[in-house]
A and B are shown apart, each in its own frame.
Chain A
Amino acid sequence: MNLTINAEMLKVGKRWMPYILFVLLVAGVAVVVWLFGYVAYKEDQNFQEGQKALRTFAYPWTITALLDNGQFWGTIIFVAIFTSSTMATEYSWGTVRQAIVRGQSRAAYLATKLLGTTIICAAALLGALGVGLLFSAWASAAAGQPITLDVADGPSVPELGLMVLRAGFTIIPYGLLAFCLAVVGRSTALGVGGTFVYMLGEGIVVAILKGLGGTWSDLRDLMIGHNAASLLAVNRIGNLEYNTLAARELPRADELPDVWIATLVLLLYCALFIAISFAVFQRRDIRG
């Protein structure tokens, strides 16, 4: 497994695409911290919007803001494109065939692909988070704000790790959706497009269901985004607001499913996407 993972790293490491996506990710982080944080705060420091802007780049709220924005845009910019592309190009290059005829089982091939993709996505997203935290430190210093975790309801250092894990976990179902679509459709466009449409459409559907109320409103509990929001809501510090570019409402714990139920629902989605991918790939005729 080590060897094949190394081979996976070699294949991906020499492509331009992950580096370009990472630069876009960092650009997105800069937009959140500087434009929607620092610049917005400087323009309107004293009112409610100014305080939201402050919490977008000031510690420790910036951690929540970066994880929330990163969960949405990191998935769209990096995870969906990277995952779909690395899987679908193996079809178009004919390299799936090369792997199978060399005796790598189909299950092992897909598992390696999934593991390699996960490692690279995790590294890129953590790297972007690190850059974001540096930007925030810089912006905080420029605005004369302290760099501290010591605020009301502020997280401890171990809790920071949990916050990252929670946000990371909520990305996995979308990543697996992209993977599943790319495997089934053998197409980068389908993987990327399908995930984009789902993520953006889901926000609209959740809002409509909320508006309809009653039983309709309960249907939100079946959607990935609503359950992901349940975990992200736990990351909030003191229920205070911050600026977000994610195309969805700020997660509010009182409207969301229980965290453990949400975790279970997300795990079920993960299992479903993995099962579909493996079942289709295992039975598929692979032609040139």
Chain B
Amino acid sequence: MHNSEVPVLKTSRLSKRFGKRLALAEVDLEIRPSRVYGFLGPNGAGKTTAISLILGLLSPTGGHVELFGLDTRNHLSECLRRTGAVLEGVSFYPHLSGRDNLRVCAAISGGGCESRIGEVLELVGLTARARDKERGYSLGMRQRLAVAAALLHDPELLVLDEPTNGLDPAGMRDFRELVRRLAGAGKTVFISSHLLNEVEQMCDDVGIIKEGHVIAEGPVAEMVHQADVMEMTVTNADAALEVLSQIDWVGLVTRDGSDRLSVEAPRARAAELSRALAENQVYLSELRPRETTLEDFFLEVTSPEDKR
């Protein structure tokens, strides 16, 4: 079992250049055991490049990767035997059935996991189609097969590149539950996705990459924090603006409608705010903190103007 003090996955100043284009720039990531880490970024940000470097498909221009505390420059095969991966795009033999593809995967993994083929097919809901040729599978079925292949050898770390591509809503929900279950069973999951809602629901931590640079990293809970902005509906917006402008701990106030205001103020002082307005005969019909979703945060940090 993996030592809980040592990161399961760690990249140190990991860089990759394709010709003149810098695809990844000195990326440092650290993923602790049993965590689900979401790796987010716009198209072309470097997510797949980072994953390919982690899995040894690309050689880095600089920096290195450690898996389970071992430097992959010297222990790649050993590390990858303990890792399961879903790669972006198809990577199966089209003339073989789903089951036969998994038999090939089991053999490459060193054997010993062939007995799990039925179990993983069941887990991803492909048992009924296991004898069909892969070329007849839909995109979603291929994705399920890829997940089954990744789980086949019961890996400690799962690296998943856009794993919900092609899945229908029910498939996505099943996948989400599967990921949470795996994390509950002690697996570490590194998942790249552009589906922010999915990541928000699945992941403990998140890293955001843009143009090859990691621009934000931390627990999802911290990114989806309750903002210090309150939204309120008042009986008299003009009077409320007047009152609020005289309170020194109130910041920017914007009027969203005839009687709706957004007020920058600490959430802890909501009661004081309400009392101050009431004392001036302005009454609230609604007062609530504005919630920031991961999507809001993502768009904020990745927008071209960089509004941070």
Contacts and interface: CB of A to CB of B under 8 A. Distances in A.
Given A93-B94, A95-B91, A105-B77, A100 B104 contact: no
Interface string A258-288: 0000000000000000000000000101111
Contacts of B89: 94, 288
B107 A101 contact: no
11 contacts: A3-B110, A93-B93, A94-B87, A95-B93, A100-B55, A101-B57, A102-B108, A103-B77, A103-B83, A285-B57, A288-B89
Interface of B: 48, 52, 55-59, 76-81, 83, 85, 87-96, 100, 103-105, 107-111, 149, 153, 159
Contacts of A97: 57, 87, 91
Contacts of B92: 93-95, 98
Nearest to B89: A288
Contact of B90 (A3, A4, A16, A93): A93
A99 B96 contact: no
A98 B96 contact: no
B103 A7 contact: yes
B105 A98 contact: yes
A94 B91 contact: yes
A80 to B, nearest CB: 21
Contacts of B48: 288
Contacts, number: 94
A7 B105 CA distance: 8
Contacts of B104: 7, 10-11
Contact of A7 (B83, B95, B108): B108
Contacts of A285: 52, 57-59
A105 B107 CA distance: 13
A10 B89 CA distance: 23
B100 A103 contact: no
Contacts of A11: 93, 96, 104
Contacts of A7: 103-104, 107-108
Contacts of A287: 52, 57-58
Contacts of B100: 10, 14
Interface string A1-44: 00110110011001110000000000000000000000000000
A104 interface: yes
Given A4-B107, A288-B88, A101 B55 contact: yes
A94 B145 CA distance: 14
Contacts of B95: 14-16
Contact of B107 (A3, A14, A16): A3
A16 to B, nearest CB: 8
A288 B104 CA distance: 19
Given A10-B103, A14-B100, A102 B80 contact: yes
B155 to A, nearest CB: 10
Contacts of B91: 93-95, 97-98, 288
Nearest to B97: A14
Nearest to A282: B59
A15 to B, nearest CB: 6
A247 B221 CA distance: 73
Contact of A3 (B55, B88, B111, B153): B111
A100 B80 CA distance: 8
Contacts of B80: 100-103
A56 to B, nearest CB: 38
> Which of B59, B83, B93 is most buried by chain A, counting CB atoms within 10 A of its CB?
B93
A93 B48 CA distance: 18
Interface string A80-101: 0000000000000111011111
A6 B48 CA distance: 31
Contacts of A101: 55-57, 80, 83, 85, 87, 159
B87 A10 contact: no
B166 to A, nearest CB: 15
A94 B105 CA distance: 13
Q: Which 7 pairs between the two chains have the least Cβ-Cβ distance?
A: A94-B91, A103-B80, A7-B107, A103-B81, A3-B107, A288-B89, A98-B91
B78 A103 contact: yes
B161 to A, nearest CB: 9
Contacts of A98: 87, 91-92, 105, 108, 149
Contacts of B77: 103-105
A94 B101 CA distance: 13
Given A93-B94, A105-B76, A288 B103 contact: no
A193 B128 CA distance: 42
B90 to A, nearest CB: 6
B145 to A, nearest CB: 11
Contacts of A6: 107
A122 B110 CA distance: 26
Interface string A125-161: 0000000000000000000000000000000000000
Contacts of B56: 100-101
Nearest to A98: B91
Contacts of B103: 7, 10
